[in-house]
Every structure is written in C-alpha cells, then in structure tokens.
Amino acid sequence: MRRSKYDRPTHLANSGGEGVRLKTSAMIASIAGPDQRTAPAPFGHALVKIATSRPDVVGLTADLSKYTDLHVFAKAYPERFYQMGMAEQLLMSAAAGLAREGFTPFVTTYAVFASRRAYDFIFMAIAEENLDVKIVCALPGLTTGYGPSHQATEDIAIFRGMPGLVIVDPCDAHEIAQATPAIAAHKGPVYMRLLRGNVPLVLDEYGYEFELGKAKMIRGGNDALVISSGFMTMRALETAKALAADGVDVGVLHVGTIKPLDEATIIREASKTGRMVIVAENHTVVGGLGEAVAGALMRAGVTPAGFRQIALPDAFLDAGALPTLHDRYGISTAAMTESIKSWL
C-alpha cells in the first residue's frame, strides 16, 4: 500500500466532548458495524466467477491488487493478470490497448489516482473511443482516514462530465456481486466505486436486484424521501429505522447508477406530495448525486416539500478514524438522524 504523510496515528477531537482529545488511527477503514453481516472481497470473487466463462476478461492494477480485491482474480487466473506498477496513465493506456484487441479489461486502483492522475488518459484513450474498459476503484469518498491525498471526495463530479462513461456506486457486498457481471455485460466504459475487504451485507434483506441505469425503492415512507447512493443507502435505511421509533416515516430510493441517471423514477417518487426530498451521498456537495437530482427535478418542474443534501463539505477533509470523521462530516447514522429530525 502506498505510504503517505497521513499513514500514521492521528489525533482528532472526540466528538463526545469539547476539548477532549482522542487518539485515533487512519488505519481504521471498515464501514461495517461490529455486529453487521459482511462478505469478503465481493468484487474479486464476482470477477473470478465471470472469468470462468469469459476468456476475454483480464485484470490490471497499479500496485494495488491486495487493496482492490483483485488479488483474488490474480490467484485464480495469474496468466490473465497484469501488474503495471505505480503508473496509472500507463495502466489506462494498456487497458485501452487490450480492449482494442478484443479483451475486456477490469482496471483497479484508488479512486483518487484514476480521477485526478489518469483523467486525460481515460478521456482520450478509453471514453472517446467507447472502449470496453471497466475501471473499478477503491477508497471512494470518505472511506479512508488518510486525508486529502487518498480521499476521493470529488470523483463523481470529475467523471460525470465525461461523455459515454457509465458511473456505478454500489451500496454493499450484495450489490457489488450483482453489479460486477452487469458492467461486464455492458458494452462501453464504466467507472465503478468499490467497497473492498469485508463489505457489509444490507440489500439482500430487501430482495434488491441491481439493474444498470435503474433506481430502486428500498423502503416506502410518507414524511420524507431519502435518495441515496453507495453506502449512504445503508445509512439511510438505518436512519429510517431510528426515525420510525419517533413516528417519522422515511422512504429510501437507492440510486446504484449515477450515470445514466434514472430520472423517470426519481421524478415520479419526488413528485409525491407532502414529502421532503433529501439526497444522501458519500461525496462532496459539489457535482455529485445531489446536484444531478436537483437538476432533474428543476428541468421537470418538480418542487418537493423541501430539498436538502447530506454530503461531504466542499473542503479538504481531516485525517483520522472513520467513525470520528463520519460523525464530524455528518454522514454517520446518528448525524444523519439528527439532521433529518431538525428539517422535518
């Protein structure tokens, strides 16, 4: 794993009391609760399953196979695995070349390196040519405590403007296992945000089935509608349960595909009278799902009973332990519950 100035124990203020200092660690990187069901390396195992019947599928990484779960594929198919070293531009260019030769490359790195460092290579070599390259990136948004060098809080904003690029933001291990074969079947470039390691299992309890380009209602509710993506759908469902104890009925609409956006479903659900619309995302307030939803509603002439965003601030975020950071920036279940209570 790449070392950085943030790869060390960090002191942050304890959110439980003013002036109290708590020694935390940026190494704490799990979003799963202590008693939550998880599945190990869902992307890696899904890719191995696809590859058994698809000899065109190959895997490439930039020195990060272990930290993007591609090591599972590398072990199963070493002859179809390419370790490109710390050279993301070369990684994307090589994937483009393999796609031109009829292969379907799955490329993994961290989201910050794909979006910031290799953007032009993805744009020119892959997206403009509509090549069948799948870019699967770990540490999206605030899923690491390493600080701004590793926190891809703006990756969706960067990639939303790239023509022809599909963007997928799965909630949990269940959705990753379903989304991976779906993007493999899709013809054209895809960027998928990746939760790696021991990933929570949530959506299987709701009978959820991933469909590329489709938003799905997970839970109905009359008082407010949370439109969410990524692991924030997990947080939205936890929040809805907490608020139900107070007699507040919150619905949850999961948007697993950010682009193309399922505007028809979003507009239909947001048009129901009397409900505040709250967009929750593991991304900066700038340029992500919130602004995409707001734009869709504005163009359709839909005015819900209030519109709010739960998202990361337009700022360089702190380093530290994820539970502390999620509380600090308002994307923990407790913080989300308090925010919605204050708005209703």
Tell me how far the alpha carbon of residue 86 is from its chain's centroid: 23
- The partner residues of 59 in beta bridges, in order of sequence, read 81, 106
What are the E-state strand segments in the chain?
Answer: 9-13, 21-25, 38-40, 57-61, 81-83, 104-110, 134-138, 166-168, 190-194, 198-200, 215-219, 224-228, 250-255, 257-259, 276-284, 307-312
| 175 given a catalytic annotation | no
Catalytic residue among 79, 88, 154, 205: 88
- The partner residues of 22 in beta bridges, in order of sequence, read 12
Distance CA 335, CA 288 (A): 20
Q: Can you tell me whether residue 110 is helix, strand or coil?
A: strand
What are the E-state strand segments in 3-76?
Answer: 9-13, 21-25, 38-40, 57-61
Catalytic residues: 88
